[in-house]
Structure formats: C-alpha cells, structure tokens
Structure 1
Amino acid sequence: MDKLEKLLMPLASAIGKNKYLMAIRDGFLISTPLLIVGSVFLLLANFPISAWTDFVENCMIGDMSLAALLSKQSDATFTIMAIFATMGIGYYFAREMKTTPIFGAAVALMSWFILMPYNFSAKIAGLADATGVAVNVPEGATSMVRGLDLGWLGAKGIFVGILCAIISVHLYAWVEKKGWVIKMPAGVPPTVVASFAALIPAGIVMVVFFLINTLFTACGTNAFQFIFEFLQTPLLGLGDTLGAMIVAYIFLHLFWFFGINGGSVVGAVFNPVLQTLALENLNLYREVGAAGYTIENGAHIISQQFQDLFATFGGAGSTLSLLIAMLLFCRSKRIKDLGKLSLVPGIFGINEPIIFGLPIVLNPVMLIPFVLVPTVNIILSYFAMNMGLFPPCNGINIPWTMPVIISGFLATNWMGAVFQGGLLILGVFLYLPFIKAMDKQYLEDEQKAMESQEEEIDLDDFSFDDL
C-alpha cells in the first residue's frame, strides 16, 4: 500500500498541476451543456420507436420535415464541436498563462482557421448551362468547392484545435511578457487599452501561423490532413481498444482509493480521445440511421458514452450494486443507515457518501471489488457489443447522471438496457462477500458498544448508606 501510494500520489499531483492538461479538460467542458441540449433534440428526431420516427420524417413544415428541423440543433452543436473545444481550451489556457482569457480564445480560433483548408472535393449534381438547360454529369463526378468542410469543424478537427490553442496562446503570452505591446496614455478607456495591447501579440501569432500554413501548402498538403493522418488516427486507434480502457479504469479507481478524484486525473488525458470517438459515432449514426449503425460500418465500441453508461453504475466503482447489497443483505445499523442516505444520490451517479462514508478510501477490504466490478462491466459490455447482442453507444450525449436502464435504452436499444440490469445484479454478488465481511465487523463493534453501555456504573444511584 505504501509503495502504491508513493507511485500514485506524485503522478496525480503532476497531472493535477499540469496547465496543459487542465486547460484541455476545462476547455472541453464549455461544450457540455450545449451538447446535452442538442442531444435532447437528436433523441427526439431518432427516438427508437418506429411509429414516432415515421411521424417526424413524414410531418412536413414548409419544405422541411420535422425530423430535419429537430436534427438541425445537433448541427449547431455536435457538427461544430471543434470550434467550441478550440475556443474553450484557448480561454482556459490563457487563464493558466496569466493573460487575458478572451484574447486567448480569439487567437486560438484565428490560428485554427488560418490552418483550415477552404477547398474540398464534392460530388457534382444538378448543373445547368447558361440557358438553364440541364447538363449531363457523369455519375460520381467530383469538383473542388471553396468553403468549409464540416468534417474539420467536428471530430476530425479537434486535435488540430488542441494544438492551435496551446501554441497560439503560449506565443501570445510570451510576446506579452516580453513587453512588446502598444501602451496607451492615461485616461484611455480600459477596453481600448486592452485592444491595442493585444495588437502586436496577436499579429505575431498570425504571422507565425501564416508561415506554418505556407509550409504545409508548399509540401502539397494542409495541417489538418497531416495531423489527422499522423497523430489523431493513431491516437484514436490506440484509445479505441479494450486494453486501453481497462488500464485507464484501473488507474482511475486506484486514484479514488487514495481519495483523489480519479475521473479528473485520468479524464484529463483520456477524455479527449473518448469524446472524439463518441463524435465519430454520432456522425455515423446520423448518416446511416439505427439500422446501419454497426461495428462493420465503422462504429466504435469504446467512447465517452461507453465509459459513462456501461463501465460504472452509480459512480466510480459501480457502487450502485454495492448500495443494493448493503440494503438487502447487511444488518449493521451503520451500513443500513448509510445505504438509505446514499441510495437516491447513487441512482444518479453521485457516490461520494459511499466513497468517504463507508469508507472505500484507504479501505483494503473494499479495494478488490471497487476495481473488479467496473473492469468486469467493461469486459462483458465490450464483448456483448462486439458479438452484436446490441449496438455500440450511438454517440448522443446522454448525461452521466442518467439512471441505469434508461441510459442503456437511449444509448443503444432495449437489449442494452436489459444488459445494464444484468451487470448491475452481477455487481451486487461481486460486492457481497466483501461488504458482508465489513458488516460482520460493524455488528461486532455495535454489540460491544451496547455491552459497554450496559456495564457502565451510574454514579447517581450510588449511595454510602448502602455500605
């Protein structure tokens, strides 16, 4: 235990104090409320009941279907998620670098769009000549179109956004600290002072990214394509594996065991990969629909929703199973009372009362099931999805507080909800021997406490007349 603590505590401290990882973590959180609201509309457009989907697809409002109108909210959130992420990371990293956050967000977006390719290949359809007569177009013909490729605004552009935000804000803060700014005389409004002070740092950032973009162009490519092929794709391939998920979750729960928020520590490194995989799943789900959404068509099993909805139920350690075991099979007053108090929060994924109240922190008896149950959930869920028992999570941003069974139905289908229920029950029996051992100890302690109270002498009843 001492060796493990000596290993994990410095690691957690290093990650927790790393300004780059903290900026990336906090920057992604900016888009979370928007994605959750967008998910509600996307669920309404693709709710897994055929009668409802037929209705929204056939209900026309003007020249658009109700399904298309509902889906537009996801275009305004999921499709341009990379913009939110770049802006958010730039903002929080500027705060870490002790410079103006809003200008950090601005230069991050500016540098990202400088590297953005504005020409992309698109299929040609519906052309007409100058007289308005339709022109025959060969099937599958393409042409270069000037505009923004929505793929780069979403999942494919996230890693470029991370790099642009970190590099541009770093450069901006460095120039500012050098004192290379325009200083205005006293009496000028603060907003004007801040605007002119940002002029030279922002200009230098623009020149640097102009040179970077020119270099990529001279090499016949662009930064987005290069980073996607040589950085993002290998990282996603590494993160999209059962082994990576298991290792990440073992470390996550070991951190929690020592009282450190493992989700924050491990998530700072792993969540950008999981969120990108989830966004790719969502794009595929929107393109092919529920019927075509399969692993064979490119759906990822590992994703943010897989982690949130199938690895743990009731919070870290999948402690909702532990709560059920406490309430059904334990007899000590301490465990029973704690279980009653923790049940409602646990249903919604909040388990700090159990983590610190049972406790699980620094409790060797509970370490094994605390790590084992989520690991079993991950392995069984992975193989169930891989064998086609139910599809991978569809990428819709369902909050991690969504109760079990409901979350499984919304993220996959009714079979996924049933499977969640089975894992929840399995977790009860995996926790049972360990919580019963604690229950036995607590019963003995309570019995000793009662006997001690009975043996106490009441001095008020003592009299020297009895001698």
Structure 2
Amino acid sequence: MENNSKFGSWVNAKIMPPVMKFVNTKAVKALQDGMIYSLPFIIVGSIFLILSNIPIPAVAQALNDSGWAAFFSQAYTATFGVLSLWAVVGMAYVYVRNEGYEPLPAGLTSLSAFLLIQLMQTDNPLKTAMANGTGNLSAKAVTANIDKLPHALQTLVNNPVTGVFNVTWLGGQGMVGAIIVGLLTGWAYSGMLKKGWKITLPEQVPSSVAKQFTAMIPAGVILGVAMLVYAGFKTFMNTDLLQYVYTLLEMPMQGLSDSLFGAIIIGFAVSFFWFFGVHGGLIVGTIAGVFLMPNTAANAALYHAGKLSLANGAHIVTNEFYNNFINLTGSGITIGLVIFTLFAAKSTQMKTLGKIELVPAIFNINEPFLFGLPLVMNPFLAIPFFLTPVVIALTTYLVIYFGIVPPLNGVAAPWTTPAIISGFFIGGWKMAIWQACTLVISILIYFPFAKKYDQILVKQEAEKMAEEAK
C-alpha cells in the first residue's frame, strides 16, 4: 500500500499536471466538444448505411430493384459521408463560443475556408470505370496503357471533372485537414475580434445586421489566407492542403492507431488514467478519436461499396473498436466485477454496489464502481482493471486480423448501446458472438481478484460491527 501510495503521488505530481494542462487547452476543448456536433449525423448516417447494405441477399436485391437502396445511399453520403464538414464547423464554433463571441459566423467561415483549400475536381468517371470494370484491367494497367489510346481519348480520360467537390475529402480522409482548419479558424477569428478588427455600425442598425459586419473583417482575412494557401499548393505542388496532410500525417497516424501496438496502448491508457481518478475515456477518446474516426469512415465507405475486407484496406482498430470493445460495459470492462458482486460476493459493500451498477453497466456506464467500490486508487483490483481491456483489445485485434470475424463495418453504434446488440450492429452476428466472448473473458479475469478483495471487505465489515457492538 505504501509503495502504491508513493507511485500514485508521483503520478499525480509529475504526470497528471501536464496531461491535464494539455487536455484543458483551448484547442483540445474545441476539438473534443466540436466533434460532438458530428455525432447525430454519424448515427443517423449509420442507419442509412445499414439500410443500403442489408446483409440479407433477398432483401438487399429487392431494395436495389425498387431503387430504395440508391435513396438510402444518398442519405448516407449526405450525413456520415461528409463527416469532416460537421467537424470543421463544430470546432471553430466551439472555439469562438468559448472565447465569448458570436460563434456561428466563425463556424461558417471555417466551412468556407475548408471548401476553398480543396481542388474542386474528381477523377474522370471513364477512367474509374475502366479501372473498376468487369474485365481483367486493374487501375495500374489502365494508367500504363492510356498512351496507346487515340490522343483525343487520352485527353478525355486523363482530364479530371472540374467544378465539383470530391466527397472523398469531405469524409474521413479530410478529417485531419478539417481539424487544422477548424482550430486555426477559431484561433484566428477570436484573436482578431480581441484586437478590435471589426466594423462597428451605429446603434440604430439592427443587431442581426451589425453582427454580420462584425464578422466581415475576420472572415475576409481568413478566407484570403485560405485562398493563398490553395494557390500555393496548386501552383507549386499540383495538389491541395487536404491531400498533402492526408499523405504526410493522417495515413501514418492511422496506420499507427490501427496496429496491434496501438490497440494495446489505447486499451491500457483508458484504465491507467481512470485509476488515478482522471477521466480516461475523455482523454484517450479525444486524442485517439482524431485517427479512429477516419478509420471508421473508411470502413463505412468500403462496406457501402460492398468491399469490406482487410485485403481492400479495411481498418481493424476504429472508433467502434474503442467504444464497443475497449470500453464495453464501462472503462476497464467491469462486467466481470458486476457478475461477481451479484452472484458470489459476501460483503455488504460489494453486494449493494453490484445492484446499483447492474443497470448502468448494461449501458456501458460504470462510475458507481469507479468511485463507489472504488476502482480508483484500489491496488487490490488494479491488475484486472488494467489487464482486462488490454487482453480484449489484443484478442479482438487478432480475431479480426486472422479472419475469424469480419472487420467492423463502420456503423456507429452509440457507446451506450448494450453489449451483443452493439456487436450485431457494428459487425454482424459473428461480432455479436465475439462480444459475448469478451464478457466471459472479463468474468474470468476479475473473479479471483474480486474474491480476494471481497474477503478483505468481509473482514473489515466484521471488525467494524464488533467495534460498534462494544
């Protein structure tokens, strides 16, 4: 106990202050709260994604024949499929709101800047069709043999379609670019207002009109800079900021987060922070979510196209991997502890808290255990609290990697969705069965440690009763 107390004091003195300082910065708060604005579109879009790809062949064929599958696909594309749009507006909005200014003009300025920095073009559909046709041509083969076509046809195939937004960069692949634009817009917009860079109209002008003039100078400066950024990338590199950032930052970081090492670190980190009383889900979810949400969006796009497989680039570790496995039944995956308290505990404290925690645990909430049992700073339950999410992160990664269960399909089941039900939504019946297996793993890991802790509590309760009887 003394060693644990010393270690806990060291962590609280040396580790937690810089971590909490980082988490409470204006940028991280805007990132965390701004991303939440995309949540309704993710969940509603997930419903349309399921409807457009119902895993029952007869039903799917009927929807295709009736045309409804195309309607559902349109709805998915306009909600979940443009995830970065909601994020870039939300982050600038929250940043400026937290600074005490009218936030909506900043959100709209951020959206305009995000669209402005993109190449408004997409590959010629003829080239795409040739590469994805029913023959044996691959994209590489098409590219290598274009010069054998007549010159006029070469020009047609090679020229992109311009004057359109490429939905690819409005979705998960544009997320890191959206974060950069959203946060920089929020910072610059509020900074200019602080310095008085605004047009002030007479009091007789209606406030709704005056507010728009207040926004005009900051918006003009930000959009002017965005235009110069676009011009620079287009002129000197023949690309845009989003594609450059995706290649330079997002792909490597998605690869790191989508590794076995990444899964284990994420699983460990949540319990580590919670053990010392800091909201591990909030910290890890904010940082890891930057790269896990694009992983989810990429899997959703593959699932929507009927190409969901690791061979086609599907990700193993996604935001649903985090929400519906690493945090299943609450941080530390404490369902095993709940089962022990309900059926095997002898101490009054554990039995009472077990009854209180049962219903919240079904919906993946376990604060009654974290602070009531407690799990926070409890050396007797530290090993299963750290070990269980690591084991489940490791095994879940491996069962997907070896093809025992399919990759997660990109459907975003809310984090409060009960276990097994969420598994079915995010990966079908095989994933639901595996999720049930993870509950059993939790029970097996927690039981011996919970039994020992229960014996300690029984002894303490007996000693207390003896003292009270004197």
In structure 2, what is the Cα distance between the partners aligned to 1:372 and 1:339? 21
Report the TM-score when normalising by structure 2.
0.88
Query: Corresponding residue for 1:236?
Result: 254
- Alpha-carbon shift at residue 142 of structure 1 (Å): 4.8
Aligned residue type for 1:48: P
Query: Corresponding residue for 2:223?
Result: 206
Query: Corresponding residue for 2:449?
Result: 434
In the TM superposition, what are the counterparts of 1:45-444 in structure 2 within 5 Å? 45-58=52-65, 60=66, 65-124=67-126, 141-146=157-162, 147-219=164-236, 220-287=238-305, 289=306, 292-444=307-459
Cα contact 1:409–1:415 (8 A) shared by 2: yes
In structure 2, what is the Cα distance between the partners aligned to 1:252 and 1:427? 16
In structure 2, what is the Cα distance between the partners aligned to 1:20 and 1:393? 30
Cα contact 1:124–1:142 (8 A) shared by 2: no
In structure 1, what is the Cα distance between the partners aligned to 2:179 and 2:328? 31
- Alpha-carbon shift at residue 452 of structure 1 (Å): 4.0
Aligned residue type for 1:107: T
Distance 1:370 1:205, change over 3 A: same
Cα contact 2:263–2:394 (8 A) shared by 1: no
In structure 2, what is the Cα distance between the partners aligned to 1:45 and 1:238? 31
Report the TM-score when normalising by structure 1.
0.89
The percentage of counterpart residues that share the same residue type is 33
- The structure number with the bigger radius of gyration is 1
Q: Deviations over 1:222-274 (max 9, x none)?
A: 22221121122122122211212322332221111122111111222111110
Cα contact 2:363–2:416 (8 A) shared by 1: yes
Q: Deviations over 1:121-156 (max 9, x none)?
A: 222399xxxxxxxxx979x94532121111011112
Aligned residue type for 1:410: F
Q: What SS does the corresponding residue of 1:13 show, helix, strand or coil? A: helix
The answer to whether the aligner puts 1:24 opposite 2:31 as a matched pair is yes
In structure 1, what is the Cα distance between the partners aligned to 2:259 and 2:18? 23
Which moves more between the two structures, 319-328 or 66-75? 66-75
Q: What SS does the corresponding residue of 2:63 show, helix, strand or coil? A: helix
Q: Deviations over 1:199-232 (max 9, x none)?
A: 2221111221121111112112222221121122
Q: What SS does the corresponding residue of 2:161 show, helix, strand or coil? A: strand
Distance 1:123 1:72, change over 3 A: closer
Gaps of 5+ in 1: 127-135, 457-467
In structure 2, what is the Cα distance between the partners aligned to 1:315 and 1:445? 28
Aligned residue type for 2:357: S
Query: Corresponding residue for 2:42?
Result: 35
RMSD of Structure 2 on Structure 1 (CA): 2.0
Distance 1:325 1:55, change over 3 A: farther
Aligned residue type for 2:403: G
- Alpha-carbon shift at residue 416 of structure 1 (Å): 1.8
Aligned residue type for 1:31: S
Query: Corresponding residue for 1:462?
Result: none
Cα contact 1:334–1:442 (8 A) shared by 2: yes
In structure 2, what is the Cα distance between the partners aligned to 1:311 and 1:49? 29
In structure 1, what is the Cα distance between the partners aligned to 2:279 and 2:302? 33
Query: Corresponding residue for 1:8?
Result: 15
Aligned residue type for 2:283: V
Cα contact 2:82–2:167 (8 A) shared by 1: yes
Q: How many residues are matched?
A: 437
Q: Deviations over 1:318-367 (max 9, x none)?
A: 01121012222212222112111211110110111111111101111111
Which moves more between the two structures, 372-381 or 233-242? 233-242
Query: Corresponding residue for 1:463?
Result: none
In structure 2, what is the Cα distance between the partners aligned to 1:177 and 1:449? 60
Distance 1:377 1:124, change over 3 A: same
Cα contact 2:121–2:160 (8 A) shared by 1: yes
Q: Deviations over 1:18-63 (max 9, x none)?
A: 11111111111101022112212322333333343233233x1xxx
In structure 2, what is the Cα distance between the partners aligned to 1:204 and 1:45? 42
Q: Deviations over 1:414-435 (max 9, x none)?
A: 2222221122112111111211
Cα contact 1:348–1:402 (8 A) shared by 2: yes
Gaps of 5+ in 2: 1-6, 130-151
